[in-house]
Structure 1
Amino acid sequence: MVQNVISAGHRVLGGVERCLLAVASAALVAIAALILIEIVGRWLPALRIPDNIIIVRQLMVVSIACGLGWVTGRNGHIAIDLLYRHMAPRWQRICHGLALVAGLVMAVPLVIWVAEDVAALHASNSFYFGELKLPEWPVRTAFLLGLLALAARLCLQLAGLIAGVDETVPADAGHEG
């Protein structure tokens, strides 16, 4: 029963993470295009894009935040596990559980803070300084969604660890190879 719920959670969260990963990928493509246009614009001033530095900065936040849950689900974060590989399986599970708890201790307050920030930005209708007067809330909302996916993935992995479900992300959760 618990394994079915966790597996269903992996599938649902996998779909959400795929959507966020598509957003992150689109942000990276947009960054590359903006930088290319800016380079060509040095010789062709007609191609100048106002506030391109602000746009690239904000797209970087989107590209990183929206991929956090997906990377966490695949255990793709940078890790040095020389000692970890030599531990007994029980100690590996304990270390993994401590890492998940530490991640949640970091992620949950951050989600709360960013959610309050997004709500305040919606209420105040704040804009970035520059020619285009871009609103601040879309980027912060994408950041919040990325953090929510990360926190949900950490919770799901911790629940699986506690329930004894060894599989981090099942093959049908939308994560390839």
Structure 2
Amino acid sequence: MSLLDALSRRISGVTAIIASLCTFALAIVITTDVVSRMVTGRSLPGLVEVSETLLVMLIFLGMAFASYTGGQIAVDLVTGALPKRAAAWLRSIGDAITLAILVWLVTATYTRALDSFLGGEFKFGLVHWPLWPARASIVIGLLICIPIYALIAWRDISEALGRHVPEQRAPETTVQI
């Protein structure tokens, strides 16, 4: 599993960098839109569409890094009150459900993203903006989460079986690739 761990760390690190760049670009786009409205009284065409795409990209590409580092919100009211191995079994069940949902979501979103790309789907607003980049980033983000949650499931199952489990990482604030 160390290979899966190293691969998950690198890939989630790369997607975290891309998500960070999307955040920076989103700030620039929104600032440009605000300045344009103050100076000219209207928005620049296409900035809303770019903002929407960047927002989707930063959420779904950032999700992999948050999952890998344990940075998502977790509530342990039930598992915290259980013995260690029982809590690990309960988390393993949750991990299996999460993996099943991720596989289903990847299948559904992949089909939709492919149809969007092949069909040339556009959002009609002030400008015609392609929807496939946002749809593709959803698929990529969800797809990258599958091996990460497989790793989490492996750790939880190992702990449930009483095997030695490597220390859980604390959420990191830096990206190492």
TM-score (norm 1): 0.84
Q: Does 1:73 align with 2:63?
A: no
Runs (5+) with no aligned partner, structure 2: 159-163
Q: Paired residue for 1:21?
A: 16
CA contact (8 A) 1:66 1:143 kept: yes
CA distance in 2, matches of 1:175, 1:88: 34
Q: Does 1:165 align with 2:165?
A: yes
Change beyond 3 A, Cα 1:160–1:82: closer
2:37 to 42, 45, 63: 42
**Which range is displaced more, 73-82 or 6-15?**
73-82
Letter in 2 for 1:103: T
Identity of aligned residues (%): 22
Runs (5+) with no aligned partner, structure 1: 1-5
CA contact (8 A) 1:10 1:169 kept: no
What RMSD over aligned residues (CA atoms) do the two structures have, in Å? 2.4
2:96 to 83, 97, 101: 101
SS at match of 1:30: helix
TM-score (norm 2): 0.84
CA contact (8 A) 2:53 2:134 kept: yes
SS at match of 1:134: strand
Q: Paired residue for 1:134?
A: 129
CA contact (8 A) 2:122 2:128 kept: yes
CA contact (8 A) 1:17 1:149 kept: yes
Q: Does 1:87 align with 2:82?
A: yes
